[in-house]
Structure 1
Amino acid sequence: MKYRISITLNLPRQKVIELFDNPDNMKHWQKGFISFEHVSGTPGQEGAVSNLKYKMGKRSMELVETILKRDLPEEFHGTYDTKGVHNIQENYFKEIDEHTTEWISVTEFQFSGLMMKAMGFFMPGAFKKQSFKFMEAFKNFAENGISVAEKS
């Protein structure tokens, strides 16, 4: 399953990249985000591997991120793997003008295992909807400083 979505941010591209490229900001736009742990390679660079942990309701999830391409401010691509799911994520940042940036996301999910294949087949809209929720949350954080992080 592959799809493309985009969102326009009312910020200069350099500011968008500054916020997007900082793992400390992930908690502010990825609901359920718990931690980011660098595993190998040069942090933030092509080939780097990291573990990302999330809690969604009572369910915990761990993803392994591998950076495939880093050509910022133009693009950032990576893979995200967890049991039964291989996600290829391509992010493009297009400068519309000096105050506006378009973030284009091309996402591909590859499923293994009967349960995940069934989810991908019967609920493709749920994956696209979740991706767009992350983009909207990033926009809200970047433009307005509003975080989705749970208050403790």
Structure 2
Amino acid sequence: MKYTTEIIIKLSLSEFIKKLNSPENMKHWQEGLIDYEHISGTPGQIGSKMRLNYKLGNRSMELVETILHTKLPNELHLTYDAKGMHNVQENYFEETSDGFTKWTSKSEFIPTTFMLRMVTLVIPSAFKKQTKKYMQNFKNFAENGISVANA
């Protein structure tokens, strides 16, 4: 399943990248993130891996993030692997004519189990909604200092 999501953040591209590229800031916009750990490679470089642990209601989830491609401040491509799911995210950032940042995220979810294959077929909107929510959470944090960690 593939889809594209866009959002405008009212920050310059350099300020946007500073906030987005800080692992310490993730807890402020990635709802449910309880901790993260760098596990291999040079942080921020191609091949670098980070383990992310989430608590979503009664459910725990572990993801491994891998940097596939980076040309900051304009591109950052990552994969996220979890039990039953492989996600590829291509992120593009561009400064708008009014000095803000347009963030375009191209997502591809590849289920690796029958159950998750069915979920992506039956309710693909759940994945799109989650991506949009995280992007909106980032916007709220970056522009207004509103953290989901305090919610």
Tell me the TM-score normalised to structure 1 length: 0.97
Contact 1:13 1:98 in 2 (8 A): no
Length, aligned pairs only: 151
Q: Distance in 1 between matches of 2:29 and 2:46?
A: 23
Q: Which residue of structure 1 lines up, in the alignment, with residue 41 of structure 2?
A: 41
In structure 2, the gaps of 5 or more residues are none
Aligned-CA RMSD value:
1.0
Q: Distance in 2 between matches of 1:37 and 1:150?
A: 21
Shift in Å, 1:112 = 1.5
Shift in Å, 1:99 = 2.4
Q: Does 1:123 align with 2:123?
A: yes
Matched to 2:3, the amino acid is Y
Q: Distance in 2 between matches of 1:22 and 1:98?
A: 25
Q: Which residue of structure 1 lines up, in the alignment, with residue 63 of structure 2?
A: 63
- 2:50 match: secondary structure: strand
Runs of 4+ off more than 2 Å: none
Contact 1:12 1:98 in 2 (8 A): no
Tell me the TM-score normalised to structure 2 length: 0.97
Q: Percent identity?
A: 54
Q: Distance in 2 between matches of 1:8 and 1:116?
A: 31
Q: Does 1:75 align with 2:75?
A: yes
Q: Distance in 2 between matches of 1:112 and 1:70?
A: 26
User: 1:49-104 deviations in whole A, cap 9, x for unaligned?
Assistant: 11000000010000011100111000101100011100001110011036211000
1:1-152 matches, cutoff 5 A: 1-97=1-97, 99-150=99-150
User: 1:87-143 deviations in whole A, cap 9, x for unaligned?
Assistant: 001110011036211000000000011110010100100000000000000000000
Shift in Å, 1:44 = 1.4
In structure 1, the gaps of 5 or more residues are none
